[in-house]
Amino acid sequence: MTVSRLQMEQGTQPGFILVYDGTGYTFSHVLRNPLSLVKNYIQFGENASSIRVTEIHFINSSSIVKKMINLLKPLLDKDLMKMMTIHTSAEAFFKNIPPTRVPEDYGGTAQTMAELHKENVDQMKKARLEMLGQEKLCGNDIKKEATKKKSEKKIETSFRHLELD
C-alpha cells in the first residue's frame, strides 16, 4: 500500500533500491519457508510488481544469507543476480548509498526507523480515503469469475435440454 501511495503522490519512479537486514537471520528461517513460496515471491518481484527495482542490498549479512542466495541461484534471473549485493559491514554499504539516505539506526544520517515508520503511518492515514476511492475503480476479479461460471453453467444446461430432430 505504501508503494501505491507513493506512486499516486509522486508518480512512477525511475527505480527503487531494496535493502534487507540480515540481523538475526538463522538457518531455521531458511527451513521455515518452502522453496515454492520463495520462488513465487521472486517471480512476483520480477514479473508482477508495480515498481522497478534497480538494486537489492543485503546488510548485516551472515554466511547463512550467502548460502541462501547460492541455494536460490537456479531460481533467479541473471539480471536479478547482478542487482544483488551482500554487505557484511556498513562501510561497504555506504559505498553504494550515501549516508544521508540511510536511517540513523544503520549508521546513516537520515531519520530513525521508528520516525520513518510513524511518518509513513501518518501519510497512509491521510491518503486512506483516496486509496479507498481508487480501490472502487479497480475491477473485482472474484465477482467476474462468479458471473462467468454462472453464464457457462446456463449455456451447459441449455445444451443438455436441446433436442435434435
141 has a pLDDT exceeding 80: no
Q: Given strand 16-21, what is the order of strands in its sheet?
A: 16-21, 53-59, 84-86
Which of 47, 1, 45, 48 has its CA nearest to residue 20?
Answer: 45
pLDDT for residue 144? 60
List the domain boundaries for the chain: 2-88+127-139
Percent above pLDDT 90 for the chain: 8
Read off the pLDDT of each residue in 59-71 and give the average, rounded to a whole number: 81
C-alpha distances out from residue 121 to 89, 104, 108, 126, 127, Å: 30, 19, 22, 9, 10
Q: Please tell me the predicted confidence (pLDDT) of residue 145.
A: 60
pLDDT 10s digits, 15-50 = 888 888 888 888 787 778 777 787 788 778 777 777
**pLDDT tens-digit series, residues 73-82:** 887 888 888 8
pLDDT tens digits along 143-165: 666 555 565 555 555 555 555 54
- Of the options 3.90.1640.10, 3.30.160.250, 3.40.525.10, 1.10.357.10, the CATH number for the domain spanning 2-88+127-139: 3.40.525.10
The backbone region for 121, taken as left when phi is positive above 0, alpha when psi lies in -120 to 50, beta otherwise, is alpha
pLDDT digits (tens, 9 = 90+) for 90-122: 777 888 788 898 899 888 899 999 999 999 999
Looking at residue 111, its pLDDT comes to: 94
